[in-house]
Structure 1
Amino acid sequence: MKAINWFAAGMFGLVAVLPAQAATVVDFQDVFQLEDGYGGLSGWNELGSLNSGALPGEQRFHGGTGSLTFDQGGVRLLGMDFVTWTGDMMGGFRLFNDGVQVYEYLQSDWLNDPYWLDIPYAGPVDRIDFISSSDGFLIDNLTYTAAVPEPGQWAMMLGGLALAGFAASRMRSAVKAGG
């Protein structure tokens, strides 16, 4: 039983020292012309362009109806600065994984400037379909991570398993001593 406890403690220690998964932030500040693959996404040129007339450090992406795909496959989309001007229809976006829609956001109020929008869906996403009218939408700071569990989540899981194993071992020892 001691071997199992040592193994669990070793795994916990190993996972605890792994670096956390860094988020990718697509902020458009370091480009003058977008190409597919920028920020790990494809479909930029068909969807829109960088907004013209922006002050330095305030560049955003202006697009219309269309799709962006994540080049690495499924990711966890955390959020983005987003606004759409839609006129009579409701604009927004839909998230997909393996061709199946997993989330939809429709903006219900007329707003002028992008606002941070947390994405409550925590599963993998491999495509974003934007819904807009001729006025389009703006995005900035599109933020995502890999869709696999992060090292901290693994550490908590392994720590919980180690504690459960330790508690079970103590209970067996107490039963043997009493019986």
Structure 2
Amino acid sequence: MKIAVIDYKGGNVQSVLFALERLGVHATLTANPEEIQSADKILFPGEGEASTAMQELRSKGLDHVLPTCRQPFLGICLGMQLLGTHSEENNADMLGILPFEVKRFAADAQHKVPHMGWNNLHRLRSSLFDGVREEDYVYFVHSYYAPVGSYTIAEGEYPTPFSAAVQHENFYAVQFHTEKSGPVGTRILENFLKL
């Protein structure tokens, strides 16, 4: 199986490659459109800032390539947010694959921004979560979120409900870090690789 991990200078890519290695899967880190289009599966990880990430994707022509992908595709953290239409983070236009606008969390006395740490998932509704229970925890680090909508396949709360995972056709994405979420994250990666 040929796995492409998209290289757009987003953070945390090495952790995703290590997580795949632990599953016995070799992946290619690439920004080459031909390698991405010919892969069996695509992972789109990231930590960073939305407008800078979009500038990098545009500079490589990937803003036109990624929406045309037809193989199973998994966005992680910023890689999920970039699938939306627009982000409040520096007023950035995104890839437009899913119909959500990314919002900033509002801080209060009990909820600091960024939302960082372990939190559980609610209302799981996808084979991506086979073997995952609602009381299981995953690891989040984010200041921005996608609202809940028809595309939502798992929810989180902080304290506002938000999309912890989304899907549209072959595009799946999670707001949390699968590669930092222990056995639960590993199970989700395994489920994605079986799609």
Compute the TM-score of the two structures, normalised by the length of structure 2.
Answer: 0.27
Q: Which has the larger radius of gyration?
A: 1
